Amino acid sequence: MKTIKGPGIFLAQFLGDKPPFNDMKSICRWAADLGYTGVQIPTWDARCIDLQKAAESKTYADELKGTINEIGLEITELATHLTGQLVAVHPAYDNLFDAFAPDVVKNNPKARQEWAVQQMLYAAKASQNLGLTACPTFSGSLLWHTFHPWPQRPAGLVEEGFKELAKRWLPILNAFDEVGVDVAYEIHPGEDLFDGVTYEMFLENVNNHPRACLLYDPSHFVLQQLDYIAYIDIFHDRIKAFHVKDAEFNKTGRQGTFGGYQSWLNRAGRYRSPGDGQVDFKTIFSKLTQYGYDGWAVMEWECCIKHPEDGAKEGAPFIQSHIIRVTDKAFDDFAGAAADEESNKRILGII
């Protein structure tokens, strides 16, 4: 067993136009003052990182890492969710997902995908230069518009979709393998990898690639009514990153899991600040520790009720209180007795 690292904080939801949230140094100082020891960096925000430069210049990567270390923090991972999303986009979502891309490739799906792949390759090398071991991302989606099969899906459609998704990701996974970094897919509604079954389908199509790993975020499973504890038992060897994000599911006579047309406040399933929802984090931290997860516990804040700064203040002590410092001895050592082969045989009654 190993002790989970943390508390960490994902910066994406806190960046803004006003101090201390508009500058990398100042937002890191803010996080450190709240008790966080790690920051997960969104690679799409130029205020945080020049991704290409971090990939091509070890000096720049060392300087960035040094600046953050001097504040008392570590970089937990480079997050690539928005660029990973653009590796696979169905045309129905072109206009919406163009918002994730630079102007030069908007209205050009082919150029946008090529740009996204290159960004992922930069992320692989940048992660290596920064001494990181995992890179959270999204898988993108070619099939999500067929999630609820009406009209009926033609035979072979799902298989063809996963075949194409694997084709797009295999070169990226190989590039990450070359630099010794895991790709940690966040299993998320809207992605083709949205639950355990779809992840297994993807694994099969990428030949169980050793770098096709997971970011564990229980909030998405609460909204799907999936057993997020059993999920750890099944996939623990692939979990390489962890978002501490809470959620609740409150079904009514009017709506259930398909409540997506409502505002976040009015949905049956909604995200909450850590500790305010229904997620059993005590069991989650126990399970991850039991299975030897030694990565970071990173708060991702998404809540439709609480102010983000209050969520951030509460997040560090919440995570810290759940991290289990693993034991270096058995609890019943005091009652132990010296033994040898002959003694054991006597106890068994075989001599």
93: left (phi over 0), alpha (psi -120 to 50) or beta: alpha
Rounded to the nearest integer, the mean pLDDT of the chain is 96
Rounded to the nearest angstrom, the gap between the alpha carbon of residue 241 and the centroid of all alpha carbons in its chain is 5
Is the pLDDT at 314 greater than 90? The verdict is yes
Query: By the 8 A CB rule, do 255 and 262 touch?
Result: yes
Q: What is the pLDDT of residues 186-243, one digit of tens each?
A: 999 999 999 999 999 999 999 999 999 999 999 999 999 999 999 999 999 999 999 9
CB-CB contact of 287 with 269 (8 Å): no
Q: Which of 184, 91, 85, 97 is nearest to 134 (CA)?
A: 184
In sequence order, what are the residues at sequence separation of 6 or more whose Cβ sits closer than 8 angstroms to the Cβ of residue 54?
A: 60, 61, 64, 122, 125, 126, 129, 130
Q: CA-CA distances (angstroms) from residue 62 to 86, 216, 339?
A: 28, 28, 52
Q: Rounded to an integer, what distance in angstroms lies between the CA atom of residue 27 and that of residue 40? A: 12
What's the mean pLDDT in 88-108? 97
pLDDT of residue 91 exceeding 80 = yes
Structural domain total, the chain: 1
Does the structure show a pLDDT above 80 at 107? Answer: yes
Q: Please compute the mean of the pLDDT values over residues 253-260 and round it to a whole number.
A: 86
> Which pLDDT tens digit goes with each residue over 239-254?
999 999 999 999 999 9
Give the pLDDT mean for 19-32.
Answer: 97
Tell me: pLDDT of 307 over 90: yes
Q: So what's the pLDDT on residue 165? A: 98
What is the CATH classification number for the domain harbouring 78?
A: 3.20.20.150
Structural domain containing residue 166: 5-348
Q: Could you report the per-residue pLDDT of 266-276, keeping only the tens digit for each? A: 999 999 999 99
pLDDT confidence of 347, banded at 50, 70, 90? confident
What are the residues facing 40 on neighbouring strands? 10
Assign 3-state DSSP to the chain and report helix, strand, coil percentages, each to 5.
Answer: 45, 15, 40
